Amino acid sequence: MEVKPFTLVLEVLVPEGKIKEVESWNENITIEDYIESVVKDHVNDRGMLCKLAVVEGDLYKDVKEYAHEVANHKAVVALEQEILDSKMCIGGSCED
């Protein structure tokens, strides 16, 4: 099965009351565990797989910007490699 990866930058806003409720269920369950479970369950129910890391903080804008920078950098590196791998030389012999 061929798959195509996508990376999401997602911010989840959780009311304080929900945090207290989740943490009251079991001392070993954190709000981060709960958020991860909700997202994974939702994605899996629709026939997809995901990996995720839940980090507390107001980081959406910064992470989104950095994700675009990384994606652009990877695209440039891939293009440069494609150009280097496909160079054609007259007579079939090249010297760098």
Q: What is the pLDDT of residue 86?
A: 75
- Euclidean distance between CA atoms 12 and 88, whole angstroms: 50
Q: What is the pLDDT of residue 88?
A: 64
Q: What is the pTM of this model?
A: 0.73
Residue 4 has pLDDT above 70, yes or no: yes
Query: Does residue 95 have a pLDDT over 90?
Result: no
pLDDT digits (tens, 9 = 90+) for 19-78: 999 999 988 899 999 999 999 999 999 999 999 999 999 999 999 999 999 999 999 998
* Nearest partner of 18 among 29, 6, 31, 5, judged by Cα: 31
* Tokens 């070993």 sit on residue: 28
Any residues with CB less than 8 A from the CB of 36 and at least 6 apart, and which? 52, 54
In the prediction, which pLDDT does 87 show?
64
